[in-house]
A and B are shown apart, each in its own frame.
Chain A
Amino acid sequence: MKMQIKTKPWKNLAMIALVAVLALLTGCSSTQLGQLVEAGMLATGQDPESAAQARQAASSLSGALVPVDEETERSLGSGVAVQAYSTIGKRHPNEALQRYVNLVGRTVAANSDRPDLPYTFAVLENSTPNAFAGPGGYIFITTGSLGVMKSEAELAGVLAHEVAHVSRKHILRTYRRASMVGALQQSAAAMDANITQYTSLVDAASDTLFDKGLDQRFEYEADLVGTEIAAVTGYDPRGLLVFLSKLNKISSAGGGWFKTHPPMTQRINRLNQFLTRELGGEKGIQQGERFQRTISAHLR
């Protein structure tokens, strides 16, 4: 006869927490960790129901803690990029313009808190002002956004905002909130073999980035971190603020940033407070001349 021992809930929680920490150290998948917890509890005489509950809890907790590997992140990002070109707009054909945007983007990304990722930037042909970042550093900006800007500092501010989404892993954290942790724990090779699951992950990310928008807290964080990145790079830290203020005045600019981002006035107020409090002494470079020369030669 199997002995069953009732234990207090906090003790189970302590064990689950311990196992989740071990997940970080050993690299086990969340599923494996859950199975390990269940087996351990059954071996020590716990009842099967408690063991099953603990397995689920351990899987969720370790999944939330174990990071996604970079190759998987970039694989998802390349899928989102394909979707972007399919649904948002074609790649602008001017290579000099694409190169210029990449140079500005790489300059700010080198000063981010995730500088070693192979970031790649692209201009999409779409007249609605918008920009978004896929997992792994695939960053897009529309011709509509470039048309509103007057300086490189504005472009740098917007690209730095998108770099901050990538460096803070906002889309991956969105997956976790949506309980898609198990699918994310797979390697890129495993995703290659399970296209149905891969497609559902890419569709979920694309739906968030193109239509629903990220959590408002992530947008506010990207505003502040992006502005800080632009300032450290040497650009006028007010670039993003100037761009957002212009959008706020364009009544016809429905969709795009208005559709997928929090209320503009709130963002402008928060950014103003941050600039005054933390970056009041920063002047920085506008680079209106280089921007105007490039844009007028290749876009307008």
Chain B
Amino acid sequence: MILWTTRWQHAVALFCCVLLVSSTAVAAADVMYVRVAKTQVRAGKTSSSAVVAEVPQGTRLTLKTKTGVRYAVQLDDGRQGYVSRLHLTDKAPASGGLLSAVGGIKDDRSPTERRTAVSGRGLSEAAKKMASNESLSKDAVSSVEKMEALAASISDEQVNRFRREGGLVR
């Protein structure tokens, strides 16, 4: 019994070491992927620099340097430039394996997070019950519903038009 327990504990320690080593290896990987719908690879480190390429969500980029707010990257076709670090993730796009795809990027959420893959709009039942129990005003509840309805009525295309009309870069 003592011998079995010792071996088991050694196995636990070994497994933890393997996990530590493998996570370090992942962190050191020099490949990242586009997280947002599309992003621009620019010749310089500012948003006014010339656009080298516009790449869609899931595009693989090789990291050259990882400093500052814009990382130096190289596309698979050899072109190089800079991309906002906010637009990059180290999660690879889905490849039809065990993990499901969400928006072209491998779903890196835990099973708990994936419990509800589709996160819809709308006041939750719990919020409605809370408002009723706490005697919160009907106006407060209807305001949340109006807020949700307005957001749902604005399409991505309308947001893009607003951005273009405002002269915003991206």
Residues of A within 8 A of B (CB): 3, 5, 7, 11, 14-15, 17-18, 21, 24-27, 29, 44-45, 66-72, 74-75, 78-79, 81-83, 85-86, 90-91, 95, 98-99, 102-104, 106-107, 110-113, 115-122, 136, 138, 152, 185, 187-188, 191-192, 195, 198-199, 202, 225, 228-229, 231-235, 278-279, 281-285, 287, 290
* CB pair A278 B68 closer than 8 Å: yes
- Max chain A Cβ within 10 angstroms of own Cβ: one of B119, B120, B134: B119
Whether B166 is near chain A, meaning CB under 8 Å from some CB there, is: yes
For this complex, 18 residue pairs linking A to B, each with C-beta atoms less than 8 Å apart, are: A3-B1, A27-B111, A67-B109, A69-B112, A70-B109, A74-B119, A75-B124, A91-B143, A103-B162, A107-B168, A110-B36, A112-B86, A121-B151, A136-B119, A234-B169, A283-B46, A284-B47, A285-B168
Are B16 and A17 in contact (CB-based, < 8 A)?
yes
Are A233 and B2 within 8 A (Cβ)?
Answer: no
Give the residues in chain A near B2, CB-CB below 8 Å. Answer: 5
Asked if A103 and B154 make an inter-chain contact with CB atoms under 8 angstroms apart, the answer reads: yes
Residues in B whose Cβ lies below 8 Å from that of A199: 130, 133-134
> A136 contacts which chain B residues (CB < 8 A)?
119
> What size tier do the contact residues of chain B reach?
35 or more
Pair A81/B144 contact, Cβ less than 8 Å: yes
Instruction: Please indicate the chain A residues that have their CB under 8 angstroms from the CB of B112 in the complex.
Output: 27, 29, 66-69, 185
Q: Are A21 and B19 in touch, CB under 8 angstroms?
A: yes
Chain B residues 13-35 with CB under 8 Å of chain A are 13, 15-16, 19, 35
Contact across chains for A228 and B116 when beta carbons are under 8 A apart: no
Given contacts A67-B113, A95-B150, A195-B129, contact A45 B69 (CB under 8 A): no
Which of A82, A90, A106 interacts with B127 by CB under 8 Å? A82
Q: Are B5 and A44 in contact (CB under 8 A)?
A: yes
Is B167 part of the contact surface with A, judged by Cβ < 8 Å?
yes
Q: A90-B143, A281-B45 are in contact. Are A119 and B151 (CB under 8 A)?
A: yes
CB <8 Å contact, B36 and A78: no
Shortest CB distance A8–B (Å): 9
**A11: chain B residues within 8 A (beta carbon):** 9, 12-13
A283 to B47, CA, bound (A): 8
B163 at the binding interface (Cβ < 8 Å): yes
- Asked whether, in the complex, the Cβ of B115 is within 8 Å of the Cβ of A86, the reply is no
Contact A287 B151 (CB under 8 A): no
Select which of B13, B134, B139 is within 8 A of A14 by beta carbon.
B13
For A107, give its contact among B45, B46, B162 (CB under 8 Å): B162
Determine whether B53 belongs to the interface, using a CB cutoff of 8 Å to chain A: no
B63 at the interface (CB under 8 A from A): no
**A253 and B127 alpha carbons, distance in the complex (Å):** 32
- Contact at A120–B140, with CB atoms within 8 Å? no
CB pair B115 A187 closer than 8 Å = yes
Known contacts A27-B110, A69-B113, A232-B87; A74/B48 CB under 8 A: no
Q: Given contacts A27-B111, A118-B121, is CB(A85)–CB(B130) below 8 Å?
A: no
Residue of B48, B126, B158 near A195 (CB, 8 A) is B126
Q: What is the CB-to-nearest-CB distance from A208 to chain B, in angstroms, rounded to a whole number?
A: 17
Distance (Å) between the CB of A190 and the closest chain B CB?
A: 9
Residues of B within 8 A of A188 (CB): 116, 124, 126
A74 to chain B, nearest CB (A): 6
Contacts of A281 in B (CB 8 A): 44-46, 48
